[in-house]
Amino acid sequence: MWSRADRSGDELMNAAVPDAFGETLAQDAPDVSIADALAILRRHYGLTGSARPLPGERDHNFHIHTDGEGEFVLKVSHPAEEAGFTDFQNKALDHILAVDPTLPVPSVRKSLEGDAQFTVSVGGSAPRIIRLVTYLPGQLLSRCPTSAAQDRNLGIFLARLGRALRGFFHPAAGSDLLWDIRKVAKTRPMLAYIADSRHRAMVERVIEAFEARAAPVIPSLRAQIVHNDMNSYNVVMDAERPEVVSGILDFGDMIHSPLICDLAIGAVYRWPAEGHPLAPAARFVAGYQSVQPLEAEEIGILFDLIRARLALIANIASWQAERFPAKRDYVLRLIAEVWTSLERLNGLSSDEARRYFLDHSNPE
């Protein structure tokens, strides 16, 4: 079991993050001011208006209200972000809109020079990749009341998104991403940042269960490029009808991964308010299966994948909260729900969960 006593503070804090985005997660990016954002907007896009900072894990983002040309999000990447990965995001958005134009995803606005992305030095820092995408109006899922219809509609939307990405590929899709459920065991050193020993032991057991039951099956499952981050802060709902999906944001964690991993991530954020702890997730899975039926092997490890994602959030968020105290509230915004969910799911066996999904997630 990992604890702070196992390693010195300096060793823990300086430990390399085991992924291609290690530097973007382990080092905070220099600030970008509103004045900087508006100057980029005017010079490179010929647009004027106002800018409001948006929260983000790696990048600096701004909600742009232009003078007469709509709303956008200006994205200023972390200095360590590779151009190939932002190109991956641009091309994925283009592909989705070409395959299914009715899917509400951001579209890329090119610069005056006709570029989907370009680099500039902001505030004297190293060059940063700049992109501009359309803003999707609505209410964040995290702020919406929940319902059975919402659970199902979210599953339908994710399945449609997966189908739109089917057949798309990009060299950056093979990146070794820390937020990849399959790599949850690599975050074991971060257990040291979980202060509560009971929580720490619970996460360790989840990782052990994943290694024993899910990891051996994963290589044989269907895989493709997936969104990989359908969390409640990345989905926009209709402000008047909170059961209707208005769009999905932030394609920065895309990866080539088993389809069932993408589904498990979305299922995690169907927090159970009451009743069976898997009831909202089962409705979500039922919606997904109405578009994309699952295979028996996928359903068999879904529960272990859901718990592995919760363990991943707990480890990474606890580590980030200490490394970046100024972002503590942001990175720990879901931690209470994570512990509650893990504790409730801890009362189920993998076989019980599998049977529940089989009995309650069939499409109507």
Residue 339 predicted with pLDDT over 90: yes
The answer on pLDDT for 311 being more than 50 is yes
Please list the residue range(s) of the chain that carry CATH number 3.30.200.20.
30-77+81-135
What pLDDT, in 10s, does the model give residues 148-171?
999 999 999 999 999 999 999 999
Q: What is the pTM of this model?
A: 0.91
Please give the average per-residue pLDDT across 335-356, as a whole number.
95
- Whether pLDDT at 203 is above 80: yes
pLDDT, tens digit (0-9, with 9 covering 90-100), for 27-65: 566 789 999 999 999 999 999 999 999 987 778 999 999
Q: Give per-residue pLDDT as tens, 265-291.
A: 999 999 877 899 999 999 999 999 999
Who wins on pLDDT, 24 or 185?
185
CATH of 30-77+81-135, one of 3.30.200.20, 1.20.1270.360, 3.10.20.30, 3.40.50.720: 3.30.200.20
Q: How many CA atoms lie within 13 A of 209 on its CB side?
A: 22
Pick the range with the lowest mean pLDDT from 49-53, 132-136, 328-332. 328-332
Count CB atoms within 10 A of the CB of residue 164. 20
Residue 9 is predicted with a pLDDT of 37
| Percentage, residues of the chain above pLDDT 70 | 92
Three-point CA angle 285, 291, 295, nearest 5°: 60
CA distance 348 to 356: 10
In the CATH hierarchy, which top-level class contains the domain 140-360?
alpha beta
Residue 327 has pLDDT above 90, yes or no: no
Q: Where in the chain is the domain with CATH 3.90.1200.10?
A: 140-360
Higher pLDDT, 137 or 13: 137
